[in-house]
């Protein structure tokens, strides 16, 4: 049954990676909700703490990877938003 956990982890984290790739290709965060990513990050942090407490390798891996992806996405969000803001003001 643990295989279902690993497959689920790959599928869920894959969805975050797809959004990350789309944002990088479009070089825009115009239609992206920062609040969504912050809440996902906070939820993953809580799950990770619990997973470490119960020592479950699937949950530790899944939430650790997910939190890394979300953190990367939030950093890219702010860098991209700053660039978009500067371009809208006519500066670089």
pTM attached to this predicted model: 0.77
The reported pLDDT for the residue numbered 91 is: 59
Q: Rounded to an integer, what distance in angstroms lies between the CA atom of residue 44 and that of residue 35? A: 14
pLDDT above 70 covers a percentage of the chain that reads 97
Angle, helices 57-88/2-26, rounded to nearest 10 degrees: 10
Who's near 82: CB < 8 A, 6+ residues apart? none
Domain spans of the chain? 34-92
Residue 49 scores a pLDDT above 90: yes
Considering Cα of 63, then 41, then 30, then 91, what sign does the dihedral take? Answer: negative
The reported pLDDT for the residue numbered 88 is: 74
Q: Rounded to an integer, what distance in angstroms lies between the CA atom of residue 75 and that of residue 53? A: 28
For 28-40, how does the pLDDT look when each residue is reduced to its tens digit (9 = 90+)? 888 888 898 899 9
Give yes or no for a contact between 58 and 12, defined as CB atoms under 8 angstroms apart: no
């Amino acid at each position: 049954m643990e295989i279902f956990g690993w497959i689920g982890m790959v599928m869920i984290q894959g969805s975050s990676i797809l959004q990350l790739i789309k944002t990088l290709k479009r070089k825009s965060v115009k239609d992206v909700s920062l609040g969504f990513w912050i809440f996902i990050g906070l939820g993953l942090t809580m799950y990770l703490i619990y997973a470490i407490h119960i020592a479950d390798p699937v949950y530790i891996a899944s939430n650790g990877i997910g939190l890394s992806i979300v953190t990367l996405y939030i950093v890219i969000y702010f860098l991209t938003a700053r660039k978009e803001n500067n371009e809208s003001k006519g500066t670089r």
